[in-house]
Amino acid sequence: MSVHVCGAQQARKEGVFDRFVSPWLVHGACSLPPISEQRQKIVPLAEGVVVEFGMGSGLNMPFYDANKVKKLIGIDPSKALMNKAHVTAKTMPFDVDLHIVGAENTPLEDQSVDTVLVTYSFCTIPDNASAVREARRVLKPGGQLLFSEHGLSDKSSTAKWQNRLNSLWGKVAGGCHLNRNVETLLLDEGFDIAEIEKKRMRGVPGLLGFNYRGIAKPR
């Protein structure tokens, strides 16, 4: 099976932190067992032509059901993380295209994919409303957006601290937001929520532990 990488030439120049430190921090934090547990529940639902927004180091790849996926397209502006994803992509039993670009500018045709998968990336994508609109544009009628994301807690005392510490956290955690409400984001940008589970993940620090996992469909 083939792997293509696009956009490496145009990718923004990354500093020492982005090239050598951030990939390991992101990969390490995203490999926590409670997060892998969520991946195990959502990723196997992907089918057909699948696009992953914020593919990162490719931690979702081992969870795809190879009998259901025709092709996988990864979108992420981080060249360093996509280099890590490339290593896993070469072992996959289906074709993988990797695009080093932000999801706000997804380089795909309208109505060309069956599934958009987003895990732990709506927190970091700077203009996540644009990214959701791109998801809606590229999805075929009847397609699905699968998501598993940490975000704004339903507990007011936790939400208060998430709001207070959000900007400080963003500075030390590569632009990650603590307080994004993924359900509201999807509803505001033209999706209906077909299924959702919102719950506190055990084993993840409190401010990062409230998880939204589910399936959304273009309205």
Ligand X SMILES: C[S@@+](CC[C@H](N)C(=O)[O-])C[C@H]1O[C@@H](n2cnc3c(N)ncnc32)[C@H](O)[C@@H]1O
Q: Does 104 bind ligand X (CB under 6 A)?
A: yes
**Cα 165 from chain centroid?**
22
Q: Does 72 bind ligand X (CB under 6 A)?
A: no
Separation in Å, CA 74 to CA 56, 68, 103, 118: 9, 17, 10, 10
User: Which window, 1-9, 52-60, 179-187, 205-213, contacts ligand X (CB under 6 A)?
Assistant: 52-60
Count of C-beta atoms within a 10 Å radius of residue 184: 12
- Closest distance between ligand X and the C-beta of residue 156, in Å? 25
Alpha helices in the chain (DSSP H): 16, 22-30, 33-42, 79-89, 128-138, 156-172, 182-188
Q: Which 105-134 residues touch ligand X, going by CB under 6 A?
A: 119-121, 124-126
Among residues 40 and 192, whose Cβ is nearest to ligand X? 40
Q: Does 78 bind ligand X (CB under 6 A)?
A: yes
**Nearest residue to ligand X on Cβ basis:** 56
Q: Does 218 bind ligand X (CB under 6 A)?
A: no
Q: Does 53 bind ligand X (CB under 6 A)?
A: yes
Q: Which residue has the tokens 């699968």?
A: 146
Q: Tell me the residue type at 13.
A: K
Q: Does 50 bind ligand X (CB under 6 A)?
A: no
> Could you give the string, one character per residue 81-100, with x where binding to ligand X holds by CB under 6 A and - elsewhere?
x-------------------
Nearest to 105 by CA among 83, 127, 81: 127
> Could you give the string, one character per residue 10-49, with x where binding to ligand X holds by CB under 6 A and - elsewhere?
----------------x---x-------------------
Nearest to 43 by CA among 30, 59, 24, 27: 59
- Closest distance between ligand X and the C-beta of residue 60, in Å? 6
Task: For residues 144 and 195, give the distance between their C-alpha atoms in angstroms, rounded to a whole number.
Answer: 11
Tell me if 117 sits within 8 A of 43, measured CB to CB.
yes
**Cα 147 from chain centroid?**
7
User: Which window, 9-17, 71-79, 156-164, 180-188, contacts ligand X (CB under 6 A)?
Assistant: 71-79
Work out which of 3, 43, 54, 69 binds ligand X, going by CB under 6 A.
54
Task: For residues 72 and 151, give the distance between their C-alpha atoms in angstroms, rounded to a whole number.
Answer: 26
Work out which of 75, 89, 185, 201 binds ligand X, going by CB under 6 A.
75
Residues at the site binding ligand X, with contacts judged by CB under 6 A: 26, 30, 53-56, 59-60, 75-78, 81, 102-104, 119-121, 124-126
